[in-house]
């Protein structure tokens, strides 16, 4: 089977971004989780926040896992965009640790902002100091959050927090909130150096945040 | 049937039944049927609170004989036997499954071959055009007859999927789940075109006699045969045909118009078989019902508005190589349900078999149906 776009390194354990994401999702709201894997995040959000959730997943095995987990799941390839979803039809659209594996990264972010009143994006920070050390010692970084070898990785668009900030600025995307964590601990000092995982809450700029 | 049997099995020997309705049925066209018979089969046991009934709607040429055999010696079981049975995806240990022959059919339910009680002649050309809406209305009569207030699920592929969808529109309170497989919210122009060629093949057969061929003791076999051959081509994908037949010849090239390619002899066989067992008037009406179905028509083409009153939960399934009912058409249904914030899951199955894939026992496809059907809650079943 092809490399799965959904990062599988942590599906069995409680994902460190789930807690922060759930803090940004409103009770009873309508949530779309793109690249939802086995539906663990939606299950988590539904049990705690009673969200009306839908997952999008292209992998057959993950689709079945979602169904068996009682999660509504739409099978489609995110690379094709979100044409099956109306503008501003979801309270929150989530892309959790999948951005770096997208080929058409720019398009999916803009599509999420079209469909969601708010967007949550999480990605591994390539600027994390351990990654930098591996580069300095002459190797592509391999870690728990980036578990693949250079030749078999699905991650084609890795970026740093600085890169993503610049991306948002260039695309006139409002960053409502940003949290950076390493091993579950929030990093406020030098996040692009000390942070392992970045979690953004975004909104299209033409619809200003209250 | 033995209890606690965990092996996948057949529903065994089955027998069709007939429900007679001594009531006027007004059809969508305005025509009125003075009475009707519906032939049906059931598999499994209706539970005490009657919450485990699943209706299977058939497609163009299907029948009430969904599963099992009539005698041990039958060559083939019912047409969806790979789906329905003990511990199969549609598990008859859990569900009470109903298959019926639709109104206008030619397998026992009231149709063109039936006797019109007002003339004591076979209906023939006088049998009205029936629609998907009419079928669902008559299926609801059958549910009443069986004492079933609410169906756990309605399931159908292709034209059967349209009936499942129509159930949720016409009787939202009477169906909890709809499984709409390899279907569409209406036919494309190309699909209507195929149906028209099939109908013209039948209607222009000299032995059609305007639909009253029974009175002439002949059958428009040639037309029906060509209609079926055309249909068969469109139900398969180019790849599937290539893989199955390719350019294989039956022998040396003879420079003739005989069936020299295996593809040709397959089509001829299928056409002959069908023309020997199906009624041309029924075929005309089934294809017309397909053409006419369009629940969005009265909503300015807005399917989301048409599905606004729907409350059932949905599983929508399509197949990648199905070009007659393409995945894009299924996604229209999914989008309309999402627009209404309904509970829906959608699977796009990678399959080579084209439209016919919905009848194939593909492992992943069956796992999808099994997972969804497992999630359906029913009351205490097999109550004694």
Q: What is the pLDDT of residues A16-66, one digit of tens each?
A: 789 899 999 999 999 999 999 999 999 999 998 999 999 999 999 999 999
The shortest CB-CB distance from B347 to any of A54, A68, A75 is to: A75
Contacts of B350 in chain A (CB under 8 A): 60
pLDDT band for position B194 (cuts 50, 70, 90): very high
Q: Give the total residue count for chain A.
A: 210
For residue B381, give every residue at least 6 positions away whose Cβ sits within 8 Å of its Cβ, in sequence order, or none: B45, B47, B52, B93, B94
For residue A8, is pLDDT > 50?
A: no
The minimum CA-CA distance between A81 and chain B, rounded to whole Å, is: 13
C-alpha to C-alpha distance for B169 and B157, rounded to whole angstroms: 17
Q: Is the pTM of this model over 0.90?
A: yes
Contacts of A89 in chain B (CB under 8 A): 338-339
CB contact under 8 A, A52 and B346: no
pLDDT, tens digit, 9 for 90 and up, residues B320-359: 999 999 999 999 999 999 999 999 999 999 999 999 999 9
* Cβ of residue A28 closer than 8 Å to a chain B Cβ: no
Residue B214: CA atoms inside 13 Å, Cβ hemisphere, count? Answer: 17
For residue B119, is pLDDT > 70?
A: yes
pLDDT, tens digit, 9 for 90 and up, residues B21-80: 999 999 999 999 999 999 999 999 999 999 999 999 999 999 999 999 999 999 999 999
* Interface probe, candidates A58, A67, A90, A115, chain B, greatest B C-beta count within 10 A: A67
pLDDT band for position A14 (cuts 50, 70, 90): low
* Cβ of residue B343 closer than 8 Å to a chain A Cβ: yes
Q: Which of B318, B322, B320 is nearest to B346 (CA)?
A: B318
Mean pLDDT for the stretch of residues B259-264: 96
C-alpha to C-alpha distance for B278 and B227, rounded to whole angstroms: 11
The distance in angstroms from the start CA to the end CA of chain A is 45
The shortest CB-CB distance from A64 to any of B341, B346, B368 is to: B368
For residue A7, is pLDDT > 50?
A: no
Mean pLDDT for the stretch of residues B252-261: 96
C-alpha to C-alpha distance for A79 and A93, rounded to whole angstroms: 16
Catalytic pick from B321, B355, B356, B362? Answer: B355
- The verdict on whether B183 is a catalytic residue reads no
Say which DSSP state A78 is in. Answer: G
The shortest CB-CB distance from A74 to any of B345, B371, B375 is to: B345
* Cβ of residue A130 closer than 8 Å to a chain B Cβ: no
Cβ atoms B112, B104 nearer than 8 A? yes
Going through B68-114 in order, the beta strands assigned E by DSSP cover: 84-85, 90-91, 96-100
Give alpha helix (H) positions in chain A: 18-24, 40-49, 60-68, 105-115, 129-136, 161-170, 191-194
Distance of alpha carbon B36 from its chain centroid, rounded? 19
Residue A16 tokens read as 């460190």
Mean pLDDT for the stretch of residues B1-25: 83
C-alpha to C-alpha distance for B262 and B201, rounded to whole angstroms: 23
Cβ atoms A174, A205 nearer than 8 A? yes
Distance of alpha carbon A184 from its chain centroid, rounded? 16
- pLDDT, residue B2, reads 41
Give alpha helix (H) positions in B54-158: 132-145
* Cβ of residue A30 closer than 8 Å to a chain B Cβ: yes
Backbone region of residue B52 per phi and psi (left: phi > 0; alpha: psi in -120 to 50; beta: other values): alpha
- The verdict on whether B322 is a catalytic residue reads yes
CB contact under 8 A, A74 and B346: yes
Torsion of CA B235, A79, B372, B363, to 10 degrees: 50
Distance of alpha carbon A24 from its chain centroid, rounded? 14
Contacts 24+ apart (CB under 8 A), A163-169: A163/A126, A163/A127, A164/A121, A164/A123, A164/A198, A164/A200, A167/A106, A167/A109, A168/A200, A168/A202
CB contact under 8 A, B335 and A85: yes
The shortest CB-CB distance from A67 to any of B331, B343, B371 is to: B371
C-alpha to C-alpha distance for A55 and A33, rounded to whole angstroms: 5
- pLDDT, residue A130, reads 96
């Amino acid at each position: 089977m092809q490399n799965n776009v959904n990062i599988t390194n942590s599906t069995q354990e409680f994902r460190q971004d789930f807690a922060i994401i759930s803090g940004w999702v409103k009770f009873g709201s309508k949530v779309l989780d793109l690249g939802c894997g086995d539906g663990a995040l939606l299950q988590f959000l539904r049990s705690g926040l009673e969200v009306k959730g839908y997952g999008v997943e292209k992998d057959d095995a993950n689709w079945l896992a979602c169904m068996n987990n009682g999660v509504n799941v739409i099978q489609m390839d995110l690379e094709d965009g979100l044409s099956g979803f109306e503008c501003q039809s979801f309270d929150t659209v989530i892309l959790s640790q999948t951005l770096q594996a997208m080929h058409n990264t720019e398009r999916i972010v803009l599509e999420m902002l079209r469909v969601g009143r708010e967007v949550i994006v999480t990605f591994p920070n390539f600027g994390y100091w351990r990654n930098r050390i591996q580069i300095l010692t002459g190797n592509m970084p391999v870690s728990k959050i980036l578990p693949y070898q250079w030749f078999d990785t699905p991650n084609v668009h890795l970026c740093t927090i600085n890169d993503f900030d610049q991306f948002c600025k260039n695309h006139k995307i409002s960053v409502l909130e940003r949290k950076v964590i390493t091993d579950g601990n929030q990093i406020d000092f030098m996040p692009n150096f000390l942070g392992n995982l970045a979690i953004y809450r975004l909104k299209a700029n033409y619809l200003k945040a209250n | 049937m033995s209890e606690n049997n965990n092996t996948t099995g057949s529903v065994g020997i089955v027998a069709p039944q007939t429900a007679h309705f001594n009531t006027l049925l007004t059809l969508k066209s305005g025509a009125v049927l003075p009475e009707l018979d519906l032939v049906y089969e059931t598999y499994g046991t209706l539970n005490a609170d009657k919450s485990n009934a699943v209706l299977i709607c058939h497609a163009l040429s299907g029948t009430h004989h969904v599963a099992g055999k009539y005698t041990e010696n039958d060559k083939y079981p019912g047409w969806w036997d790979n789906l329905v049975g003990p511990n199969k995806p549609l598990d008859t240990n859990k569900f009470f499954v109903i298959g019926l022959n639709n109104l206008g059919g030619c397998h026992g339910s009231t149709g063109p071959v039936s006797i019109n009680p007002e003339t004591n002649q076979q209906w023939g050309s006088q049998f009205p055009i029936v629609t998907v809406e009419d079928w669902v209305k008559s299926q609801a009569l059958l549910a009443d007859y069986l004492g079933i207030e609410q169906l756990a699920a309605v399931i159908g592929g292709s034209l059967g999927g349209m009936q499942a969808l129509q159930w949720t529109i016409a009787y939202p309170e009477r169906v909890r789940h709809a499984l709409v497989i390899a279907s569409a919210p209406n036919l494309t122009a190309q699909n209507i075109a195929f149906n028209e060629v099939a109908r013209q093949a039948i209607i222009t057969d000299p032995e059609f006699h305007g639909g009253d061929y029974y009175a002439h003791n002949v059958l428009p076999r040639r037309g029906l045969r060509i209609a079926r051959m055309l249909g068969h081509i469109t139900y398969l994908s180019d790849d599937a045909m290539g893989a199955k037949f390719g350019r294989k010849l039956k022998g040396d090239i003879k420079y003739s118009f005989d069936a020299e390619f295996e593809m040709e002899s397959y089509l001829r066989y299928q056409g002959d078989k069908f023309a020997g067992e199906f009624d041309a008037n029924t075929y005309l009406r089934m294809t017309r019902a397909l053409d006419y179905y369009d629940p969005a028509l009265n909503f300015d083409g807005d399917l989301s508005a048409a599905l606004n009153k729907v409350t059932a939960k949905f599983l929508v399934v399509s197949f990648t190589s199905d070009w007659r009912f393409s995945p894009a058409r299924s996604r229209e249904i999914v989008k309309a349900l999402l627009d209404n914030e309904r509970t829906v899951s959608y699977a796009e199955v990678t399959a080579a078999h084209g439209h016919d894939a919905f009848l194939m026992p593909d492992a992943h496809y069956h796992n999808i149906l099994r997972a969804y059907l497992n999630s359906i809650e029913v009351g205490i079943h097999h109550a004694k």
